[in-house]
Amino acid sequence: MEIDFCNKECCLELEKAIKKIDVEQTVNLLDELKRRVEITYRTRIIATNRLRDKNTEYKRLNIYYSVLVTGGSILTIGMQTKNSQIPASNIVLMFSIVLTYFMFYTSEQNLQERAYKMEETFKGLDKLRNKISIMLEYNKLDITEEMCKKLYKEYEAILASIENHEEIDYYMYKLDCLKKEHISDDKKEEYSETKGKVKKYTQWKSRKIFLKYFIPTVVMIMLILPSIGL
């Protein structure tokens, strides 16, 4: 029986080529997953810091508003209404009610708890990232599609376990990455756009904080002082 060695060799070469393509595809899938895990890990750190900063901001506002209401109460003790139709005591009571609602609103945000829960996912993401790195470094040729699917499911489970980060967290991460690397001509527009978005967010955040202190103070002064004849 005659054996066609030429065709056999062709088959072996084809098999090798197919296997090579499969390995390249799975490696590309893992490289993409590793990139996503890295981005998620870094943006979650930024999101955690943002939530903690917001929690600190609310605590300071609660203290300031409490001092403001207490100061108004002390100022109106024994004072009678003179130039205003609204009694000073009623104005202070109104601010006290608003303060109570604000404190209830801030406590309902659960910012500290949300930051803690988000921080818990760091270990899972770091473990997954290390697992992918080891596979790409030492077991590249043995990676199968099933392995990739399992790792992707693990990543999806981590994402589903906690709230997602906000868009601004990603832009902050992106800006930080662009600053660290040399900005080429084709990335200058991307850098300017990202920087502009982060700057706009930072400026608006500062303005909101200022208004949260300024507006209640001005309203309190405008309502109380006329009512006590000052």
SS3 content of the chain, % helix, strand, coil (to 5): 85, 0, 15
Q: Is the CA virtual torsion 16, 22, 23, 24 positive or negative?
A: positive
Spatial contact of 228 and 82, defined as CB atoms under 8 Å apart: yes
Q: How many residues does the chain have?
A: 230
- Give the helix ranges, DSSP H, for 77-187: 88-108, 111-138, 145-160, 167-180
Distance between CA 95 and CA 81 in Å, rounded? Answer: 17
Q: Distances in Å between the alpha carbon of 229 and those of 56, 75, 85, 210, 224?
A: 37, 12, 12, 28, 9
> What's the whole-model pTM score?
0.80
Distance between CA 170 and CA 198 in Å, rounded? Answer: 10
Distance between CA 13 and CA 162 in Å, rounded? Answer: 48
Instruction: Give the rounded distance of the alpha carbon of 127 from its chain centre.
Output: 20
pLDDT below 70 — which residues of the chain?
A: 1-22, 77-88, 225-230
pLDDT of residue 3: 39
Contacts 24+ apart (CB under 8 A), 205-212: 209/57, 212/61
Spatial contact of 129 and 151, defined as CB atoms under 8 Å apart: no
Spatial contact of 223 and 211, defined as CB atoms under 8 Å apart: no
Could you tell me the two tokens for 194? 């990202």
Spatial contact of 153 and 29, defined as CB atoms under 8 Å apart: no
pLDDT of residue 72: 79
Residues 6+ apart with CB under 8 A from 2: none
pLDDT of residue 95: 84
